Amino acid sequence: MPTAADAAARSLRAIPVANAAEAFVEMLVHNDVEYLFINSGTDTFPVQEAIARMMEQERPTPKLILCIDEVTAMFAAQGYFQVTGRPQVVLVHVDAGTAQIGGAYHDVQRDRSGVIVCAGRAPITIGGVRPGSKDMVIHWGQEQLDQHGIVRTFVKWDYELRTVDSLNWVVQKAFQVASSEPAGPVYLTLPRELLMTEMDELQLPPAARHAKPVAPAPDPDAVATLAQWLVEAERPLIIAGTPGRHPEAVATLTELAETLGAPVAGAVHTRLNLPTRHFLNAINCGAPSVSEADVILVLDHDVPWVPDEETLEPGARVGWIDIDPSKDTIPLWTFPADLLIHAASRKALPALLDAVRERLTPAARERAAARNERYRANTERRRAEIAERVEALADKRPIDPLYVAACLEQVLDEETIVVNEGMSGGGPFNVYTDRRVPGSVFGSGGSSLGYGLGASIGVKLAAPDKTVVCLEGDGAFIFARPTSAFWAAEKYNLPFLTVIYNNASHNATRNSWNKWYPDGAGPRNDNYVAVDIDPSPDYDVLVQACRGYGERVDDSAQVLPALRRALSRVKQGQAAVLDVRIR
């Protein structure tokens, strides 16, 4: 029989509140929000006053993290979610703050990170008819025909609070949608007249009855079919996107790959999916290409290969496991799948591993063992070649990103969390370094630059005892609002190390230019107009303006000593930047 405690947990619970702003804050507490990332304005002060009053009364509230640029706030919330899986809240100012978040919406959407974005709304009444009515010139200009239209293409759900009577249900819905797989951002606007409306009590919805849905498990028949394909394969290939967003999936994927003798492409994508030095890491083991594989298993991936570069063999079979199988938010998405399984990879992988083991014949075991032996030998040979190359780079100038990775490998412990937006240097880091702890590498998930610094703030909040290292390209570093990020790092005691791979260029543009116009005027005359960031700013000086530690590194021989000096400063509580010149 249900107990009295069970009944209470399933019922509405009334608590006293002074007004709707206080009720809003109580709903954040009710949903275990630890941090409110805020960039305030003339519409957010009711929430700030409610928090100040609740603090005065020694009532629990989320901790306010002031972000002096909205991009920092959004990426910090993303970084926190990446580590914990718990949505946090961003609070910004009307249409302007909503728009200022910019490309960060894209990255959070494509990373499937649960973030609650709340914004004020220009007052909806005139003439002092209600507290909070329009009382400033800007209140007319700030009202847009469709403020939500700024973000609607990026969010899972959006809503404007229309009455205080539904505030509890609206906020609870926001958390439910944001955290439901596939997770993602939601958007809620809060008119300030409603926030200032007096209330006597808030009815707290029972969390047990309004939680996120249980993620789907795989269909057993589909798993059995996929397992049979993999066991029979001669050249199996696994392409991993983000199964490592659930740390427990990493060990299972590793075991599955070893059981099948199947290389894993995407050992690191935006998460660590397979230990980087594992002998089945496709980067080093001589794995079959997409056009060579006879069975391909795709896991939680949006773009497992580029059709223009690799063509799937007509006879090859593709099995696909994905929490977001049809990619409804990507308008033109047409990748082939002979078997498309809608399931959470953390549930599907153990089931698939069991099904594979049940079907392994002695002959299949021998084939898998032979592949493992071959891939292990290839990996050892490849790593020896990389080691020789690194040794030859010790005196090279400009500094090679691979040499930076080799130096990082010497100073980072296995528990260090790396936020990788390194662009030219991010790939070599994943190739060379030994990353094996699940949840120790994160990437943005999207293509809008600027993720790294704000995400490092969120990661450090979520894992305060871990060393956090951010890898940035120089263009990405500027997009990441360094002044805002390093101000927050000092203000809230969140030190981290940033390594900038500075090639003084928008290199992605240069690479595309060279590919499509190899004989064009730009490549022919080495005249890549509007590409070079020359002269390069002194990024090491920029961080010093926020009382951080900065150092420019021009010589390979100084990379390792500089890393040690910078990490020493981080351990002492100071943010640090190394401006490493790779061009």
Alpha carbon distance 392, 535 (integer Å): 29
pLDDT digits (tens, 9 = 90+) for 496-518: 999 999 998 888 899 899 999 99
Mean pLDDT of 24-31: 97
Angle of helix 70-84 relative to helix 482-491, nearest 10 degrees, comes to 60
- ω into 247 cis (within 30 of 0): no
The model's confidence at residue 75, banded by pLDDT at 50, 70 and 90, is very high
DSSP state of 502: E
What is the model's pLDDT at position 9? 60
Least confident range of 4-8, 99-103, 185-189, 253-257 = 4-8
The model's confidence at residue 6, banded by pLDDT at 50, 70 and 90, is low
Could you tell me if 37 and 92 are in contact, meaning their C-beta atoms sit under 8 angstroms apart? no
pLDDT digits (tens, 9 = 90+) for 254-305: 999 999 999 999 999 999 999 999 999 999 999 999 999 999 999 999 999 9
Query: What are the tokens at 9?
Result: 């947990």
What is the model's pLDDT at position 138? 87
The model's confidence at residue 1, banded by pLDDT at 50, 70 and 90, is low
pLDDT digits (tens, 9 = 90+) for 177-194: 999 999 999 999 999 999
The model's confidence at residue 5, banded by pLDDT at 50, 70 and 90, is low
Three-state secondary structure call for residue 340: strand
Domains in the chain with CATH codes: 4-208 (3.40.50.970), 220-382 (3.40.50.1220), 393-581 (3.40.50.970)
Residue 207 confidence (pLDDT) above 90 = no
In this structure, the number of other CB atoms found within 10 A of the CB of residue 553 comes to 25
Residue 225 confidence (pLDDT) above 60 = yes
Least confident range of 24-33, 258-267, 298-307, 308-317 = 308-317
Alpha carbon distance 194, 570 (integer Å): 44
User: Looking at the whole model, is its pTM more than 0.85?
Assistant: yes
Average pLDDT over the chain, rounded to whole?
A: 95
Q: What percent of the chain has pLDDT over 70?
A: 98
Residue 8 confidence (pLDDT) above 70 = no
Alpha carbon distance 500, 328 (integer Å): 35
Mean pLDDT of 74-103: 97
> What is the DSSP annotation of 179-214?
HSSSP-EEEEEEEHHHHTSB-SEEEEPPGGGSSPPP
What is the model's pLDDT at position 474? 95
Mean pLDDT of 41-66: 97
Mean pLDDT of 230-236: 98
- ω into 62 cis (within 30 of 0): no
Residue whose structure tokens are 């304005």: 41
What is the model's pLDDT at position 7? 61
DSSP state of 272: B
Residue 2 confidence (pLDDT) above 60 = no
What is the model's pLDDT at position 308? 81
